[in-house]
Amino acid sequence: VGGLGLIGAGRARAETLEPNSFEDITSYNNFYEFGFDKGDPVKYAGALTTEPWRIEIDGLVERPGSYALDEIVSAMTIEERIYRFRCVEAWSMVVPWNGFELADLLTWAGVKPGAKYVAFETLYRPKEMPAQRGGSIDWPYREGLRLDEAMHPLTLMATGLYGKPMPKQNGAPIRLVVPWKYGFKSIKSIVKITLTDKQPETTWNMLQPQEYGFYANVNPQVDHPRWSQARERVIGGGLFSAKKPTLMFNGYEDEVAGLYDGMDLETFY
């Protein structure tokens, strides 16, 4: 498989990455369904029930249907991936995820010719997700990828971290991880996956289109309108740690830059 060399490169890099502590990763989160503060998810996500969990797969697929999470996971190969995680708010972490490649799931479901994009939806359950009872965001949270991005071997469906089942505040029981994109693309607590031929609507892009693009690739040269993306605060460094330079495509340039050949990354931000 052509992916082998690529994964090898990822692994060589992974050795230099020092994961954040489990404590950091599970106490500093954006999960707006539970509140807008970084500390809200760990406070309120306990109310979320994640069993039973089903994922609806529909649109341009050979085997549409509503699948129990267990059925999907048992057909996949779970591995560990240590990835950089860069938030659009200019902070970053390193997370040892456990999960399977989204490509495997899409192949399992059977992608029909004509599919160009993959759309994702988060659970909508206001009883358990207090901020969904407020009106500032058009719930459910939605995200999307171009099909080639979705099929990329770095794109992960994560079911855990540090070898433990996915903590609720991090998007239990299953979430997307796209390490070369800003964190908001990595949609949490997924209940629906749709293969489509049109670019799907995505939550942050719908809210503030001039600030959050569909692509949202990590790019130190394209600033957010309200802050610089050139550097990032590494979480866990304490009061006196300096920001570090942000890497193009969050350090995954060799692996993914080819996906965007010929595209103006300032236009398609």
Partner 1 sequence: MVAVLNRWVRHVPPWTLYLAGLAHIVWLFWLGETGGLGPEPINALERALGETGLKLIIVGLAITPVMKVARINLIRFRRAIGLTAFLYISVHLLVWLLLDVFLLSEIWADIVKRPYITVGMAGFALLVPLAVTSNDWSVRRMGAAAWKRLHRLTYAAAVLGAVHNVMLAKTWAAEPLTYLAVMIALLVLRLRWRTKPRSGNAGGMGRARQGPEPVGKGMSA
Among residues 8, 36, 49, 80, which is the contact residue for partner 1, using CB under 8 A?
36
Using CB under 8 A as the binding rule, the residues of this chain from 168 to 207 that contact partner 1 are: 207
Among residues 136, 198, 261, 262, which is the contact residue for partner 1, using CB under 8 A?
136
Specify the stretch interacting with partner 1 by CB under 8 A; choose among 33-41, 45-53, 76-84, 258-266. Answer: 33-41
Among residues 28, 31, 85, 100, which is the contact residue for partner 1, using CB under 8 A?
28
Among residues 235, 246, 249, 252, which is the contact residue for partner 1, using CB under 8 A?
235
Specify the stretch interacting with partner 1 by CB under 8 A; choose among 56-64, 121-129, 191-199, 241-249. Answer: 241-249
Q: Is 230 in the site for partner 1 (CB under 8 A)?
A: yes
Q: Is 129 in the site for partner 1 (CB under 8 A)?
A: no
Q: Is 13 in the site for partner 1 (CB under 8 A)?
A: no
Among residues 7, 27, 56, 248, which is the contact residue for partner 1, using CB under 8 A?
27
Q: Write down the least CB distance from residue 201 to partner 1, Å.
A: 16
Specify the stretch interacting with partner 1 by CB under 8 A; choose among 48-56, 65-73, 101-109, 225-233. Answer: 225-233
Q: Which among 220, 210, 208 has a CA at the least distance from the CA of 180?
A: 220
Q: Is 126 in the site for partner 1 (CB under 8 A)?
A: no
Give a three-class secondary structure readout of the chain.
Answer: CCHHHHHHHHHHHHCCCCCCCHHHHHHCCCCHHHCCCCCHHHHHHHHCCCCCCEEEEEECECCCEEEEHHHHHHCCCCEEEEEEEECCCCEEEEEEEEEEEHHHHHHHHCECCCCCEEEEEECCCCCCCHHHHCCCCCCCCEEEEEHHHHCCCCCEEEEEECCEECCHHHCCCCEEECCCECHHHCCCCEEEEEEECCCCCCHHHHHCCCCCCCCCECCCCCCECCECCCEEEECCCCCCCCCEECCHHHHCHHHHHHHHCCCCCCCCC
Task: Using CB under 8 A, list all residues that contact partner 1.
Answer: 20, 23-24, 27-28, 32, 36, 38-39, 88-89, 91, 134, 136-137, 207-208, 226-228, 230-231, 233, 235-236, 238-243
